[in-house]
């Protein structure tokens, strides 16, 4: 195992990785920007190195500064978390060139898989089913139109270097395609420095199901079951659960086994996630592979009892995989919701500000991953994720009830600060979601419908009711 690991990230994932390192007896070093000087992870790390101002480009995306920090603290490895440089093959190669272990797949594998078009080609050769569309990038709007005509509308134009829900445009009619193609290429160039795009059939009412895999450098691999991530807005996930509900066990097993086979055949190493779309006929189509720890990894940890960050560290240190497939068992149901500092009533606009009150929920089988506390300043510089609330229960209905209870307990208050909790409650109340028969169209449907006003708890002791009075039918007992 490594003596010292440098954590090249911030927020809740930096704290999550720090805790895993400490539990394994590994010294921790973190990099931080000027905006994060007072953060919890800086306070708890064994060493901390300031690498730049608040701007991500001059701090958490500054590969040279991060590598220099790793050399200063004597680190043997770098954990990139998620986002920032976590799937940057050039950064992984720079780490290797400087004698540092990048905790993730080898640079060449990452480079091939980070390119969505290349990943589709590799997975197709490995026997994974793809959504109908182009495998190679389409060079111009005319070629895109040919693909769209062949597979049928609607289609989605995707950046080959895209990620995190960016670089995608859904096209419903031929008249929209030329402009959408040009707009997506321009956005891809601006965001990723790569304007290549491909086109595939858009499945508007599909399930987004993903599979967690662990693969070592000795050719061993296991899958840890499925997650459902269909609750998403503009391709950004809001609620995740494990295992994926309301699909036959045989279908889920086939998806998971296919995912593992694909990961092993392309030489993947580390903790990765293969994402699929499952259509109304329960046919599944490979979407992409993520070469990093996922935001939603806790739901898999809750149903398997396996610490995924621990496994990342062991695999990166060259330890053979500590699990065999027959030793992986799923127990119960776990659900996670992301708490973002955004205002759902203003098109989810970010709401920076200082937290005057911050009290996470507690109780049995309730986990909160957060870097925040009372007094914490939510700045405008980074992602709006403030916390993740994860619950476990023996069955799905109890898990959803437990999540509702946890959200009722969560106190977050500060001038101008709003969160996505009210919208998550709408998701949890939706009849299709409660039945586990929802699709990626759920959020758009809820946003198109007026929000029901929440019922209020009484603020004073109510007057006694006559014995014959019927109890009211109360489905919400919330105040926010």
Residues annotated as catalytic (active site), given as ranges: 292
Tokens 């905790």 identify what position?
103
- Residue 151's CB is within 10 A of a number of other CB atoms, namely 17
Tokens 């050039």 identify what position?
90
Contacts of 271 (CB under 8 A, 6+ apart): 212, 213, 214, 292, 293, 297, 308, 311, 312, 315
Tokens 């209020």 identify what position?
456
Report the distance separating Cα 6 and Cα 41, nearest Å: 12
Distance, first Cα to last Cα, the chain: 47
Residue 362 in tokens:
């507690």
Report the distance separating Cα 62 and Cα 147, nearest Å: 38
Contact 284, 259 (CB under 8 A): no
User: What is the DSSP secondary structure assignment for residue 319, as one 8-state letter?
Assistant: P
- Report strand pairing: 366-370 vs 333-340: unpaired
Contact 428, 478 (CB under 8 A): no
Longest dimension (CA), the chain: 79
Contacts of 453 (CB under 8 A, 6+ apart): none
Report the distance separating Cα 392 and Cα 374, nearest Å: 26
User: What is 381-449 written as a DSSP string?
Assistant: SS--EEEEEEEEESSHHHHHHHHHHHHHH-EEE-TT---SHHHHHHHHH-HHHHHT---TTHHHHHHHS
Report the distance separating Cα 388 and Cα 369, nearest Å: 5
Strand partners, 240: 336
Residue 38 in tokens:
């007072």
């Amino acid at each position: 195992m490594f003596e010292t690991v440098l954590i090249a990230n911030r927020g809740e994932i930096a704290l999550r990785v720090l805790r895993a390192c400490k539990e394994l007896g590994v010294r921790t070093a973190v990099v931080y920007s000027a905006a994060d000087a007072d953060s919890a992870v800086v306070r708890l790390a064994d060493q901390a190195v300031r690498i730049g101002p608040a701007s991500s480009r001059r701090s958490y995306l500054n590969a040279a500064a991060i590598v220099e920090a790793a050399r200063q603290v004597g680190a043997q490895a770098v954990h990139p978390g998620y986002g920032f440089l976590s799937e940057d093959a050039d950064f992984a190669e720079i780490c290797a060139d400087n004698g540092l272990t990048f905790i993730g797949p080898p640079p060449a594998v990452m480079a091939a898989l980070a390119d969505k078009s290349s990943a589709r080609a590799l997975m197709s050769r490995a026997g994974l089913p793809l959504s109908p569309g182009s495998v190679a990038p389409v060079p111009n709007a005319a070629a895109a139109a040919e693909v769209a005509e062949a597979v049928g509308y609607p289609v989605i134009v995707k950046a080959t270097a895209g990620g995190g829900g960016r670089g995608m445009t859904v096209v419903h009619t031929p008249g929209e395609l030329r402009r959408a193609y040009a707009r997506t290429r321009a956005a891809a160039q601006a965001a990723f420095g790569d304007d290549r795009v491909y086109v595939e059939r858009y499945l508007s009412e599909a399930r987004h199901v993903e599979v967690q895999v662990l693969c070592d450098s000795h050719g061993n691999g296991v899958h840890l079951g499925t997650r459902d991530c269909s609750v998403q807005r503009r391709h950004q996930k809001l609620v995740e659960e494990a295992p994926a509900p309301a699909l036959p066990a045989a279908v889920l097993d086939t998806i998971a086994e296919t995912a593992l086979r694909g990961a092993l055949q392309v030489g993947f190493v580390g903790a990765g996630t293969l994402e699929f779309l499952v259509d109304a006929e329960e046919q599944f189509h490979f979407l992409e592979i993520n070469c990093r720890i996922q935001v939603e990894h806790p739901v898999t940890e809750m149903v398997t009892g396996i610490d995924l960050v621990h496994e990342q560290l062991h695999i990166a240190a060259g330890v053979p995989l500590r699990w065999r497939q027959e030793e992986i068992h799923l127990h119960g149901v776990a659900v996670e919701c992301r708490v973002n500092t955004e205002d759902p009533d203003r098109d989810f606009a970010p709401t920076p500000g200082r937290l005057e009150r911050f009290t996470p929920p507690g109780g049995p089988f309730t986990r909160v991953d957060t870097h925040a506390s009372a007094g914490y300043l939510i700045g405008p510089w980074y992602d709006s994720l403030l916390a993740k609330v994860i619950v476990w229960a023996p069955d799905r209905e109890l898990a959803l009830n437990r999540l509702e209870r946890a959200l009722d307990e969560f106190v977050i208050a500060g001038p101008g600060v709003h969160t996505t909790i009210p919208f998550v409650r709408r998701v949890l109340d939706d009849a299709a979601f409660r039945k586990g028969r929802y699709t990626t169209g759920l959020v758009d449907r809820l946003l198109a419908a007026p929000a029901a006003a929440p019922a209020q708890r009484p603020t004073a002791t109510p007057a006694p009711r006559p014995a014959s009075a019927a109890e009211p039918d109360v489905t919400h007992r919330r105040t926010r």
